[in-house]
Amino acid sequence: MGPVNERLRTAMIRTGVTAEELALCCGVDPKTIERWVSPGRVPHRTHRWAAARRLGYEESYLWPHARRPAARRAEAAQSELVKLYADRASVPREVWLRMLTDATAHVDVLVFSGTFYAQTQPRIAAMLAAAAGRGAEVRLCFGDPASEAVATRDREEGLGGTLAAKIRSALTYYRPLVGTEGCQIRLHSTHAVHVAVPLRRRDHRQPARLRRGGLGEPGAAPAAPRRRPGR
């Protein structure tokens, strides 16, 4: 018998998702879900994706030993990334500006507080409103200050209980957008474990910042993925 997949078991307990519910989501038998937990069988890739989405965790966290052939990994790295930056401060300010000034279809922001973006772009609300005026769909999603997910991230980064206040402060920058046609502002309570991916998408360019445990957002490694054919 192989090792128990403690990460999958814990994720199901934390989210309250039963084996039957996860089986229905993935299109498999509940017994199959049990075998994924113990003896820790690695499911098919499509099933891993479906389970990870349902649980709100990264697939690579739930199944860290699931490997792709080396050739495919190398090809994916070359085809999907336009640029990889050492940290957030290394990203040229012009890149962030182009995210707003060139957007014609989408501006999507998924973060916890996102204070960096507002502080480096004092006219952020006006620029987002202008993007919406051009017909772009603007969707902003911040961490819910009252959620357990925010409290967890606060503890992970050693912020001493200040993250919720940072989020409330950041939201003041976007208050003028409330009621603006084409703009949506929402809160999320997503648990991000070990790897966080704050997203800022402008049309089909999407800088994703990969946070390695303990580094916090400023030490994250921003990557600029390339749009893949058919997406």
Domains and CATH numbers, the chain: 6-62 (1.10.260.40), 77-225 (3.30.870)
What confidence category does residue 2 fall into, taking pLDDT thresholds of 50, 70 and 90?
A: low
CA–CA separation, 28 and 59 (whole Å): 17
Mean pLDDT, residues 140-146 taken together: 92
CA–CA separation, 128 and 109 (whole Å): 11
pLDDT digits (tens, 9 = 90+) for 155-174: 988 999 999 999 999 999 99
User: Do 125 and 182 meet the contact criterion of CB atoms below 8 Å apart?
Assistant: no
At 176, phi and psi to the nearest 5? -60, -15
Residue 104, burial from CB neighbour count under 10 angstroms (0-12, 13-18, 19+): exposed
Kind and range of the H or E run holding 154? helix 148-156
CA–CA separation, 137 and 199 (whole Å): 15
pLDDT digits (tens, 9 = 90+) for 65-102: 876 555 455 544 444 556 677 777 777 877 777 777 88
Q: Does position 148 have pLDDT exceeding 80, yes or no?
A: yes
Q: What is the mean pLDDT of the chain?
A: 78
CA–CA separation, 153 and 93 (whole Å): 27
pLDDT of residue 151: 93
pLDDT digits (tens, 9 = 90+) for 174-190: 999 999 999 999 999 87
pLDDT of residue 101: 80
Mean pLDDT, residues 138-143 taken together: 91
pLDDT of residue 67: 61
SS3 content of the chain, % helix, strand, coil (to 5): 45, 15, 40
What is the DSSP-derived secondary structure letter of residue 210?
E
pLDDT of residue 69: 52
